[in-house]
Amino acid sequence: MVVTEAVRDSRFGRRKVRKGQTIVLDPDDGLIAVDPDVTKAVLAGIAALEPGFELVTLYYGDGADLAETEALARRVGELVDGAEVEVVHGGQPYYRYLIAAE
């Protein structure tokens, strides 16, 4: 999943997205979550994943820092009972987070 910020108002199917909102995109499913709050958007994206994964990796890049990402990782850990959650500095431009679930 890719987590970034909408750069303009738009529509994804029936969903409206406002400039500045956090959007969570999946390469196969497209837009899976949108929210003004980064944490809420990420948690909604994680909740939309097929169950059965054992590891979630949060790669943080532009717009995120270690402390914020560690706090988010704790919230993700509460949501995905039994899965390990790790934080890695990805340093990617444009994307606040890249999230992998294995």
Q: What predicted TM-score, i.e. pTM, was given to this entire model? A: 0.93
What are the residues whose beta carbons fall under 8 Å from the beta carbon of 41, sequence distance 6 or more?
A: 3, 21, 22, 23, 24, 33, 34, 35
pLDDT of residue 29: 87
Q: Rounded distance, CA 64 to CA 38, Å? A: 10
- The pLDDT tens digits for 7-39 are 999 998 889 999 999 999 999 889 999 999 999
CA 46 – CA 49 distance, rounded (Å): 5
Q: What is the reported pLDDT for 13?
A: 83
- pLDDT given for residue 45 in this prediction: 96
Q: Are strands 55-60 and 84-89 parallel, antiparallel or unpaired?
A: parallel
Chain segment 25-76, per-residue pLDDT in tens: 999 889 999 999 999 999 999 999 988 999 999 999 999 999 999 999 999 9
Rounded to whole angstroms, the Cα distance separating 58 from 45 reads 12
Separation CA 56–CA 97 (nearest Å): 12
